[in-house]
Amino acid sequence: MPMIHHHISALRAAIQPYRAAQRIALVPTMGNLHDGHLELVNIAKQHADIVVVSIFVNPTQFGVGEDFDSYPRTLDEDVAKLATVGADYVFAPNIDEMYPVLPPPTTVRAGAITEQLCGKTRPTHFDGVGIVVSKLFNIVQPNVAIFGQKDYQQLAIIKQLVRDLSYSIEIIGAPIVRAADGLALSSRNQYLSESERQTAPILQQELQYLAKRIGGNHQPLDVLLAASRQRITSAGFVIDYLDIKTAQLDSLKTDGSSVNFNENQQDLVILVAAWLGRARLLDNQLVTANTV
């Protein structure tokens, strides 16, 4: 079983002896672990000797009216799952331990990259992610940290944070883990009713459909996106965004424009966030010259 620590000082003391000769990995989570999280631990074990998994439902990344209070907290089950994949330490602090003052007067803001996509409807979300991830990095001081690619924008922001704040931490993006029917695994999938769960894979099917057509038949991107939005909405989703960006999340001209991967076209990513009932689902698909 992994050792559980609830206090920063105890965790630091426990992992200090490893620092000289062994590599430490951090897998930050908010708990309620599923196979996607366990895969992050598997990847962490390939890159480090000691794996620390943090479990903390971070209040600063939830906006007013969001699901902070109802977010599932399942520490005992999580620890049992982590034992099956050989995590070494669980860091499960309470709110006071992480935030002596809440909200913290110190902020970690990542600028323009946070103002698009999820940041448009969740304007304070990435500030909360920025401060909690910075704190976890300072507490654990890992050699490597693993984040899921499902949260594509979050991963890009964390890479920027590491670059700009000179953290000496390797960031690894882990491929999205999907259910057999294609739905990206997420703790929030449990908010779906049975019939919504049947509908949910449509999001990924639509991303795959778009990925094949972008650059394939040279239809303008805005036409492809509009048709896709129409189908997703008709299936019962309320779309937050469906967009195509460069892989670095720079904007792309979509109006009347098509993509030609034969002309030095850079890699692209299609990103979607959509509500289905109570669940806000996220997914994305990279599009490279090989995909089309």
- Please say which residue, 161 or 224, places its beta carbon nearer to ligand PAF: 161
Q: Is 218 annotated as a binding residue?
A: no
- Smallest gap from Cβ 40 to ligand PAF, in A, equals 10
Per CB under 6 A, the list member of 85, 132, 161, 169 interacting with ligand PAF is 132
Instruction: Show which residues are catalytic.
Output: 37
Distances (CA, A) of 183 to 40, 116, 135, 163, 189: 18, 24, 31, 32, 9
Give the contacts of 131 (CB within 8 A, at least 6 positions apart). Answer: 60, 104, 106, 107, 108
| Phi/psi at 97 (5° precision) | -65, -40
- Closest C-alpha to 160, from 43, 263, 249: 249
Q: Does the annotation flag 177 for ligand binding?
A: yes
> Is 151 one of the annotated binding-site residues?
yes
* Closer of 30 and 139 to ligand PAF (Cβ): 30
The answer to whether 94 is a known ligand-binding residue is: no
Is residue 52 close enough to count as binding ligand PAF by CB under 6 A? Answer: no
Does 78 engage in binding with ligand PAF (CB under 6 A)? no
**Closest CB to ligand PAF among residues 52, 214:** 52
Residue 269 C-beta-side C-alpha neighbours within 13 Å:
17
Q: How far is the CB of 29 from ligand PAF (least distance, A)?
A: 5
**Minimum separation from the CB atom of position 196 to ligand PAF (A):** 22
Out of 40, 129, 221, 272, name the contact with ligand PAF by CB under 6 A.
129
Give the H or E element holding residue 204. helix 202-213
Token couple for 255: 């109006």
Q: What is the CA radius of gyration of the chain?
A: 20
Residue 30 lies near ligand PAF (rule: CB under 6 A):
yes
Token digits for 132?
């909690």
Q: How far is the CB of 73 from ligand PAF (least distance, A)?
A: 13
Find out whether 248 is annotated in a ligand binding site.
no
How many residues belong to the chain?
292
29 forms part of the interface with ligand PAF (CB under 6 A): yes
Q: Is 150 annotated as a binding residue?
A: yes
Q: Which of 83, 84, 26, 17 is nearest to 55 (CA)?
A: 26
Structure tokens at 184: 């990206």
- Figure out which of the listed residues 61, 143, 153, 228 binds ligand PAF, where binding follows CB under 6 A: 61
Centroid of chain to Cα 266? 23
Among residues 243, 291, 284, 227, which one has the least CA distance to residue 265?
291
Contact between 114 and ligand PAF per CB under 6 A: no
Using CB under 6 A as the binding rule, whether residue 151 contacts ligand PAF is answered as: yes
- Residues that bind ligand PAF (rule: CB under 6 A) add up to a total of 10
Q: Which stretch binds ligand PAF (CB under 6 A): 26-34, 76-84, 207-215, 251-259?
A: 26-34
The reply to whether 185 sits in an annotated binding site is: yes
| Per CB under 6 A, 282 contacts ligand PAF | no
Q: Are 73 and 57 in contact (CB under 8 A)?
A: yes
Taking the least distance from each CB to ligand PAF, the nearer of 29 and 228 is 29
Residue bearing tokens 């001081």 = 141
Annotated binding site for (R)-pantoate: 61, 154
Q: Which residues bind ligand PAF (CB under 6 A)?
A: 28-30, 58, 61, 129, 132-133, 151, 154
